[in-house]
Structure 1
Amino acid sequence: MSAMKTSSGPSLTFTRPPFDGSLTYPEVFDYNAQRNPDHPVFQFYDQDHIQKITWSEVTKAIHAAGRVVLHHVVRKDSIPVVGVLANADSITFLTVVCGIIRAGYTAFPISTRNSPAGVAHLLASTGYEYLFVSADSAMQEIARMQDGINLIPMPTFEDLYLNNDSEPLPHVRPDLEQLALIIHSSGSTRFPSPISHTHRFCMMHGVWLSYGDMDVCGHVLSAHGSVMYHLMGYWTIMAAASDGLTIAVFPPENPPIVPTPERVLKGIIDTNSTIVFCVPSFFEAWAHDPTAIEVLTKPTVALFGGGPLSKTAGDSLVTKGVPLCALFGSTETTFTAKMIPKETPAEGWEWFEWARYIDYVLVPIEGEENMFSVIVKENPKTGYSPAVFNTKIDGIRAYDTKDIFIRHPTNPKMFKCYGRHDDQIIHSTGEKTNPTPIEKTITVDKRVTAAVMFGRSRFQPGVLVSPAPGYEFDPANEKDLADFRTSIWETVSKANKEAPQHSRIFKEMIVVTHPSKPFTFTSKGTLRRGAILEAYIKEIDAAYEAVDNISPSNILVPQKWSIDEITEWIRRIVHTLLCTDVQISDEQDLFAVGVDSLIAIAIRNTIVSTLRKNHVISMGAIRSLPQNFVFNNPSISVLSAFVHNAIVSSQADGNTHTAEEEEHDDDESEPVVSFTKLPESGETVVKLRKGKGEPPLIVFHGGAGLAFDFRSYPEKFRTAVWTVQVTPDAPMTSLEDLVAFYRRKIKEEQPTGPYRFAGYSASCILAFLITQEFERQGDIVSALAMLDLFPSIFVHIIPAGELPNRREEFIGAMLKMMIDLTAWDKSRNSSVDGLRSAINGTGGSPIQRLAMDIAQKLGGMISDFCLRPDIEVWMRSMKDVKAPITVYVAEEGARLIPMPEEEQEDLGASRWVPGARVVRVPGGHMDFLEHDLVIVGLQEGYL
């Protein structure tokens, strides 16, 4: 192999190892220990200053990890594969993986997010027999489910770096075709697939940086947001070994620190990182944070990889000075974009240049201009080769990436990623729509020849429909257009029922083709999707504009904004838009008397524009009004109450100032909540954040009954959020009594709906019962969320038989489940012993003792409810709840509880409540509550 450059830049502590084949990868570690002993490999911020670990220290630790391998692994005729399944800090994880390779074996880092079935699949695929496993109960449980595996305790940072007195390993020089590393795919659409990297393939990483624009020797790369079991993470140690890059990480704590946008940003600051490298979701979070943007303007380059970054976020960051660049690659091909450009390309942050060391073939997408799929070939001139082959080009082995790219219209060297062959539509909300099943359902209609969905970077999707022969018409004729939309609406409604809520199509977002501008097809008969959407871009924009702007004028505006005046005002709006003189009762469902989605949007626009023009409430309160508040308040009386409540809440906070004044609103009026004191009578409803007049999200406590689990929500939420906790005056006699008590307390604080509920952990049953009770009393519940538990979980722990102590057994099983969930959560391991002591009455803090007392009482009430003979009748009644239901499932949370296999992935939601939306969230049962997927999802429509 050859490189464009053979030496690093000037450095007093680093001399670049040779990558001409004279050294193998394990030998590079020893080379660096001898020639670059004082050059830092890792650095982290701890004890008020930056701590550095040098090559002499790291190599010694790598040898220590290798000694553990030699002690436990029996060498046979074939090279053993040693897996690593561990919740460990980045330094320890990388050191153990390198130790396996230095010992002459094959390392297989495994994602801790894999299910037991996923790990079993990887076991069957690779035949590995040895597995490093961390001591936490979650990984131990997964490991125990694997047959025929020899478990090796995962060393700690202290074992490898502080208490290391092991002997150096014997010298090894593996064959370059021997497997050094196995990296698996994400398994997002199937089980993860193992991808083998030979020593030759790994050595290539020591060459590729030499083809980039930057000499990275001495630079500090922030890897705080990278996971080390993926190539994005493991690549960092290879870059450190070849080019003298220093890896910035979190301090080596146990359990390891979970990366969040806030923590990663602090890590970048604390370690003086000069290169930032992480997945797009962090950049999308930072794009809305002025402090983050200021920090990100200081590094030399900010790289994203691993997925697409929304154009809105990318444009915003670059406009404000962030040196953003795309880094593209895959586990099968490694990095195929030019490594570490020194600045944002002139063509834009999305564009990249293919790396000069690869040889690639562009395959035109039929019917599309400047759009190609890419096949990556072996390149004998540079020594590059993909790790996987699935085709040949002119007799040369190659890998078909199945990715589609767009070539820049004026600079043919630059490309940007368009997506996969099965490309999804990404909306402005970040939600994704898979158009294929929706389009297929619509084209079943005899009136439709073809359908193409649209909505990229828009709030909601629409569909472009080509009428079948005999049904063509001029869509400029509004009556014919309305009739056609109505004729196919039953079919579109069927597609909507099968689609996620964010992918549903409004009738007004059906755009019909003109006979003079029919769909175009490739020679293979497939739709020229890009060309079709481009041809109808004006019609699509007009549809969105029409939906956004409709609102009637000349409607008399209230003077005093009393509830009576607001009700009369909304009556006039509804009657005007319906164009009817028929009297509509204030209590009638608006959608039963002729209001459709277009009119509903017009009602919303009229209300919002009037409130804005008359300065009735602040701009912040207006921005907080949900997009779908008319749909959530579908009668004149309920809608009037909603508007009145928004006005009263805003005026009570003094927020009737103008848009300019709004910019200086620092939320000083937000309540200060103490999470350390014990709750007192009368403190059932805790208002964590007031918001700006929108209906609050009301979160019901977990099994411990306290508000403590939501202590981050006052800071993380931007909309109103309350929590309900157990207080001394709460009746802990039965779930029905507690529901009645909670309903009364909520009604005292929020007399009218709509209501938004979320049940966390053990309160999932309570949340369903409360929702049923509110709906039974005629109240509207516009959303119901289940936070990492579902009522069917409790059905599975009902003791068998008619034993007299079934109640006690149930309570014991529930308490064990609580302890297990706490133990599995990496952020709460330290709480387990205290909780156990509190249960046994031998210790624990006052809050822990109170929490376990509440848990036992709540467990008894849930037990009494679940041990009823008609419990399954009630379970079946959950599907009759009218409120939209979302179930958030923590990857390392409740899904690890033993339950039927078919319920493992969604906690049984699809079985008992068909149509419930399920969102998978990284993290454990407690720390997942702070994940962006949960924080943003619970505020959906109100941000």
Structure 2
Amino acid sequence: MSATKTSPGPSSTFTRPPFDGSLTYPEIFDYNAQHSPDHPVFQFYDQDHIQQITWREVTKAIHAAGRVVLDHVVRTDSVPVVGVLANADSITFLTVVSGIIRAGYTAFPISTRNSPAAITHLLASTACKHLFISADPAMQEIARMQGGINLIPMPTFEDLYLNNDSEPLPHVRPDWEQAALILHSSGSTRFPSPIAHTHRFYMMHGVWLSYGDMDVGGHVLSAHGLPMYHLMGYWTFMVAASDGITVALFPPTLPPIVPTPERVLEGITTSKSTLVFCVPHFYEAWAQDPVAPQVLTKATVAFFAGGPLARSAGDILVAKGVPLCILFGSTETTYSAKLLPKETPAEGWEWFEWARYIDYVLLPVEGEEDMFRVLIKENPKTGYSPAVFNTTVDGVRAYDTKDIFIRHLTNPEMFKSYGRHDDQIIHSTGEKTNPAPIEQIITTDKRISAAVMFGRSRFQTGVLVYPAPGCEFDPANEKDLADFRARIWDTVSRANREAPQHSRIFKEMIIVTHPSKPFTFTVKGTLRRGAILEAYSKEIDGAYEAVDNISPSNIPVPQKWSIDEITEWIRRIVHTLLCTDVQISDEQDLFALGVDSLIAIAIRNTIVSTLRKNHVISMDAIRSLPQNFVFNNPSTSVLSAFVHNAIVSSQANGNTHTAEEEEHDDDESEPVVSFTKLPESGETVVKLRKGKGEPPLIVFHGGAGLAFDFRSYPEKFRTAVWTVQVTPDAPMTSLEDLVAFYRRKIKEEQPTGPYRFAGYSASCILAFLITQEFERQGDTVSALAMLDLFPSIFIHIIPTAELPNRREEFIAAMLKMMIDLTAWDKSRNSSVDGLRSAINRTGGSPIQRLAMDIAQKLGGMISDFCLRPDIEVWMRSMKDVKAPITVYVAEEGARLIPMPEEEQEDLGASRWVPGARVVRVPGGHMDFLEHDLVLAGLQEGYL
């Protein structure tokens, strides 16, 4: 090691190795030691001067680390995977990982921030049986929890660089398709996933920089704030090997120096770095530091990657002269943005140009202009290929990034990240919220460290707030909670002003984290959204339940219930909920004034609960009030008239509500339905609940043909609900015959409409056919619901025309789909073995045997229908149905069935019936039927 000073520019000490396929990366280490022995690889500040470590020294240390590998790991027929789980300084960590690769093995650096369970998962999923482990107690404790693993003591910096007398390694030339390096995802929503980089993929890094704007030879790149077990960290060593960059790091100490914004900034200064590369967290801290921008402006370029940078922070830094640029990429694709632009783009620091070595495809986001999801394909012309494939484009393998980007309005070559497609919150209304920009505004409040929005499959968003250090408190203390919400409300209001109306946050939907249950973060410092939302699932459910009961108190109740008193009462309700003293005209549209779905619910709750508590109208009249009457009467005057008319009508019919009626309200005489006996002829229509005279919801059976799937509905429903099941007298000859039979049976029970239909699972085709037939005969169908299946799902299992037994193949595929859906559902997977036995006629209960017999017959009828040459003509006719269509999609149900990517979110509904409403529901294919979203939606307008 020597004390020197480096200036940027082409390096006289570095000879670029060939990247024509004549050398693999392990051979390049040795090439650099021979042709660039005095070129600095690492640089750090220690003992009052800059220390450098050259390729001669680094390669010798890599060989020493490789010798440790060969001493502890015996080579077998397969290439061993050797993991590194260690609290070590960056130089030692990179050297050991490189030593594993140089020995000819596969290196697997693992984040020390993973849980023991996640580490066990990673070791098992990669067949990693050998693990470098550091001596600190935390890693040793994790090591003790891993069974059957060959533990190797982690070398120290002194072992590799100061006391190194090992012999050089034998020459190796690994196969190009062998995994050189395994990296793992950050595990934002589940256990981290391992991603293998082959030697061929690894070699591509040495070519990509030639597509950028800069010659980085002679530059010093600050990597002080990067995790070395992540792609961003190890990539810096790749750049050092391929292009002669010098990597600036903290001095090698034990324990290693923990990077903080202050320490990283000091490292940039003392190491005289000319390029800066770190995660957004540091830039966001530096934007608030008066000194940091002065340091960063001296860099040629300041890069960030790994997650979104708050716009306010980026704007502050650029305004102060910081040359900020984004390096967009992923572990699956590495850097897909142009590498190392030499300056901040003219369009702004958020914008980037796609790298010229990749071949990408833009998928437009429905309903949005210049917004796209990006797929990255193999590119034979440049030799680029993603490390992972999950789709194909025109027969070419590709990786769907599931990232959403906006294209620049005036420069179509420039893009900026909008957020993860997976992070989009899809509400029960079908509307979507992109949480990233809203969360960024909320976290500008100094009292807030982090924020995570929620609302998937709900009608409205909310936010989990993680208080900043010094602001923590027990949110169970209602006074402290109210005070904290009040203090941050200005910031949340600012976010609400910039958010779409359906994405605005109601004060009661702010959940503050408990000190004992803090947020968890990935190795990149990004939030583990899935884990966080799961940890706070009870609090989230409780918040929605509380919102359902929101109604302002201390508002005088009308005495005579005249139209004037009712109008004044509703005026007060609206003013209270809008928190405004501004005079509101009785004729103004409430929703234009700022009433959102939450406030509308609160208005409804207040009206209904007051009418009930004051015994103004009967319970029958209250239940007959439409669920959405506030939306249908969107001004004070119209809403007052609606309430007044409801009261007058109820009292005219002698239906004044009494306390006794409320007490005995639920003592209704309902039919007792047996779900254990086999259906008999004449029992086609089963009346699960008679209701109060409203049109019943008629639910058609699933693929098994029985009413059993709806056994909870007599208790769960408050309105009339019937089901249709297959009976011995049903004609199982064709779908058309079955439709005619069902229509006759329904008409016998309900001669006139309107009719409300729901098709569950395999009966989705039946429900559409029946609706079309009813409408063809002049009947009104007021609602049609698809319960976790859509007819297009059957199109995807149609066998190719060349198969001689297409019908049998179709039936087999349909039965497999039924079994899979049952197996995926945690509430029913115990019955899978019985169903399989029933299919094979080797066992199963009588009901299971009957169900599978019906399923095979129904599968044959659906097969005959779908194998017609004009099936797509019929599919296109579905959009002509007049009835409003709602598609309920179970999160762990039919969307897991293999189908085109663009159909998985809504099962193909938007393709075939563009106006359909889609509701995402937690749960599996069976248990989702009992979810509140489904129960409330199917009774909407009649509760």
Q: TM-score, normalised by structure 1?
A: 0.48
Larger Cα-atom Rg: 2
